[in-house]
Structure 1
Amino acid sequence: MIPYTALAEAPLKVGKGPGLLLAHGAGSDIQDSYGPVIDRIAESNTVIGPDYPGSGNTRLPEEALTLDGLADYLVASAVRAGVDSFALSGFSMGTAIAVRAATRHPERVTALILSSGFAFPNPRLRLVIETWRSLGKRPEEARILAAYLSLVVGGAEWLDGRSPDEVEEQLALFAAGMPPGTDEQLAVFDHIDVREDLGRIAVPTLVISPTGDLITTPAHSRQLVDGIPGAELLTLDCGHAIATERPDEWAAAITEFLAGVNA
């Protein structure tokens, strides 16, 4: 079988300064999860942004995706890009991958930023993923899946502020299709549990919790903060998709935290 580390295309690498490795969400890619903030955070960091197997130009491996495999793949991508140590910013499912990477590769990870994250999918999150996977397997339901994702990804206030044309534009974007490896990435949720990893984190950690997040609710962020020694909590008034709703605040939080860590 082809190991994950042999699948990666050259990852995004921009900016200058200390390394910052990005871990995007499931059913997404680097540009979708982090696009609006990349230029800003690259002003003071060397940003490495690999796409997971099944996203972007990275093909799926022959075996099923696993949390450990994705964590190793992420770290290997940074090393192959010439960055041997780095802070790790995870978004959504990327937070669990980041935590696992920090415990499997402690010699490389200097800090963690966990946004819209979770340690273990609670019943509500499992239902979100189950519904997403079910609708995603029925191409004729593309618009229903798009409507469902719009309802849970965006904060209620943000979505209510969209014009009818803007809502249709978002529905068309979702209905156009997810990355080809979306279902395989979502299947990883069945096995994610990093609760025992949390107490082993020994690097500065910032947990960013959107107060209106309907997918990974604030209770998930609180579990991360309570479990990671010395972790800091920052709240943002938005839904799950921070890059869409609060890009400036998110970029500022990341850069200010890393400036303090690097100082």
Structure 2
Amino acid sequence: MSLSYEVRGSGPGLLLAHGAGGSIAANFPFLDELAAERTVVAPDYPGSGATPRAEQPLELDRLVDDVVATADAAGVGTFAVLGYSMGTAVAVRAATKYPDRVTSLVLTAGLARPDQHLHLTIDLWEQLLDDRDALARFLLLNCFGPEALNALDDVDEALRTTADGVPPGVGDHLALLRTIDTRADLPRISVPTLVVATTQDTLVPPHHSRELARAIPGARLVEVESGHLIGAQAPDAWLAAVQGFLR
């Protein structure tokens, strides 16, 4: 299906892939900074941003095709891919499915497949979708590291903002997340790859990122002291790692 997307900047292409239950606006707070050096193509998955929910279950290959199609529509032939959380699987599959178009990868707070810990987390996440107050508490607990959570000035406001920001397609995203397994793709990646691990992450713990880095030939691993929502907790460190690598 056609995805809503935004294009900013000029120069080499950079395609963004956001996380499950997220959006471009929620996951990437530095579009203007990225666009100062690159043509940034930023699509929202079905049920996020301005993209309507899909009429059928999401599948990774089809989502990858739809994300790459936004680069086509923007006139961007080749591109790096910056994937966050579930978006790292989109980025990895794009690199193996479109090897003549993907020039490099940045994989942040990601995973190759859900393990038992993440399956149980998804179970609880899905069960809370009809209780937005409880869901907001679950997300704050799992998306922020302890220091960042304790530093919040107004927890009630953070809870309200979190509850209001849950996209309509989150259930579809979680169903897709359950099925993801890119382990066979990882040894086939031949482009420069940076893996960014979030060391305080309790949603997608950092061992997932370390697994990605070990399995991708020549991948570089950097670790950032942050919970899962690195764009809110440590955006400057994340941006510096991304820009330094892409340059």
TM over 0.5: same fold?
yes
Aligned to 1:113: 106
Distance 1:159 1:190 in 2: 27
What is the aligned partner in structure 1 of residue 192 from structure 2?
Answer: 204
Aligned structure 1 segments of 4 or more residues deviating by more than 4 angstroms: none
Matching residue within 5, 8, 13 for 2:3:
8
- Unaligned 5+ residue runs, structure 1? none
Which residue matches 2:147?
A: 157
Question: What is the number of residues matched between the two proteins?
Answer: 247
How does the TM-score come out when normalised to structure 1? Answer: 0.92
Q: Does 1:96 align with 2:89?
A: yes
Q: Which of 31, 36, 58 does residue 38 from structure 1 map onto?
A: 31
Contact 1:37/1:250 (<8 A) preserved = no
Cα RMSD of the aligned pairs, angstroms, is: 1.0
Task: Check whether the contact 2:63–2:90 (CA below 8 A) recurs between aligned residues.
Answer: yes
Q: Which amino acid aligns with 1:27?
A: G
The superposition leaves residues 55-85 of structure 1 with CA deviations (integer Å, 9 ceiling, x where unpaired) of: 1111223221011111111111111111011
* Structure 1 Cα separation of the partners of residues 165 and 217 of structure 2: 40
Q: Deviations along 1:131-156, whole A, 9 cap, x unmatched? A: 111110x2xx2111101110000011
> Residues of 2 paired with 1:211 and 1:103: CA distance?
27
Distance 2:100 2:53 in 1: 28
Cα deviation, residue 16, structure 1: 1.7
Structure 2 counterpart of 1:154, which letter? F
Question: Does structure 1 residue 173 correspond to structure 2 residue 167?
Answer: no
Shift in Å, 1:119: 0.3
Q: Secondary structure at the residue paired with 1:119?
A: coil
Match of residue 16, structure 2, among 15, 19, 22: 22
Give TM-score, length-normalised by structure 2.
Answer: 0.97
Cα distance change of structure 1 residues 204 and 181 upon mapping to structure 2, 3 Å threshold: same
% same residue: 48
